[in-house]
Structure 1
Amino acid sequence: MAGVLIRLAQPAELPYLQEIEVASGEPFTDVGMPEIAADAPMSLEALAEHEVWVAVGGSGVPVAFIAVGPVDDATHIHQVSVHPSCARQGIGAALIEHVTPADRAVTLTTFRDVPWNAPYYERLGFRTVTEPSPGLAELMREEASRGLDPATRVAMVLLPAHERP
């Protein structure tokens, strides 16, 4: 991850972040989920509503981003995307670590069986949520209403450091 700087996204960068999200979705085709690869990225309005951090390479251009916001008493990751040309370099993990508060949990929803989704987050210390909070449950209902099969999805939490086993 050498040479990558994490900073708040600039408004003018938001359209480029959509391009990163589209590119990072392409590998879903290889695991039999072409509909996910073809899914539209977060809207500019949705990106603007969240706290968005970017990882910027040596060229000064973002190569990855994370969009977070509060859900119940947690920091929720609404989207994390790394451009495939920069994948497997620890950039996604660095973004997650950057937005992880010391005193509050971090949550996300993801695909249960896609290798770079739930299994990846488990390696970072996230655990499956058995009883989602009201806000997290609502997010999962919204995902289902947009066509994401609830049987393929999972909510996960990274507890604050002082609460981890």
Structure 2
Amino acid sequence: MTRIRTARPEELDRLPPIERASGELFRDIGMAHIADDDPMPVATLRRHHVWVAVDVTDAPVAFAVAAELAGCAHLEQISVHPDHARRGIGARLIDRVGDWAAGRGLAALTLTTFRSVPWNEPYYRRLGFRVLPPGEITPELAGILAAEAERGLDPATRVCMRRELRL
């Protein structure tokens, strides 16, 4: 059983390889450009809140990255190494971020993701997220979508999602 804890500064450099490995699934569905995308830089990780799921040797096998954004906790990244996938680790990481956010008085978790990738929008719906209609997308989330478009992600394939928190 994996344990979830706050990431230690000295292990942040172990997270990009997890993100890269988890991204390989995109290659299997014809999205090699996503699989080949650079992982989140360690310098960026240092500026965010990061949690890790660790194995019995205390080595990270998955991680979640979040930042406060417009009164919510925005999930910047969730990656689970394929060797540890399909065990509920991602859901547990999201719940941990939710607990942290609720403790800070934040209203919800938000994220942007691919609309039609099975382990993206459909997965997050199962975890209690809902797709935000255009009228509910905050300027901050719109800015994230715009930055994603500048990096080459087709806006038609992207969606903003939100899960309310119990405060």
Structure-1 separation of matches of 2:115 and 2:18: 22
Which residue in 1 is equivalent to 2:145?
140
Q: Per-residue deviation at 1:159?
A: 1.0
- Structure 2, unaligned stretches of length 5 or more? none
What are the Cα deviations for residues 66-97 of structure 1, in whole angstroms up to 9, with x where unaligned? 00001111100000000000000000000000
What are the Cα deviations for residues 83-116 of structure 1, in whole angstroms up to 9, with x where unaligned? 0000000000000000103352000000000000
Within 5 A, what are the aligned runs for 1:4-153? Answer: 4-100=2-98, 101-102=101-102, 103=105, 104-130=107-133, 131-153=136-158
Scaled by the length of structure 2, the TM-score of the pair is: 0.93
Identity %: 52
User: Which secondary structure does the structure 2 equivalent of 1:39 belong to?
Assistant: coil
Structure-2 separation of matches of 1:99 and 1:82: 15
- Structure 1, unaligned stretches of length 5 or more? none
Structure-2 separation of matches of 1:138 and 1:71: 11
The letter for the 2-side match of 1:86 is: H
User: Which secondary structure does the structure 1 equivalent of 2:10 belong to?
Assistant: helix
Which residue in 1 is equivalent to 2:161?
156
Q: Per-residue deviation at 1:160?
A: 1.8
How much is the aligned-residue C-alpha RMSD, in angstroms?
1.0
Q: Per-residue deviation at 1:120?
A: 0.2
What are the Cα deviations for residues 102-147 of structure 1, in whole angstroms up to 9, with x where unaligned? 3520000000000000000000000001131111110110011011
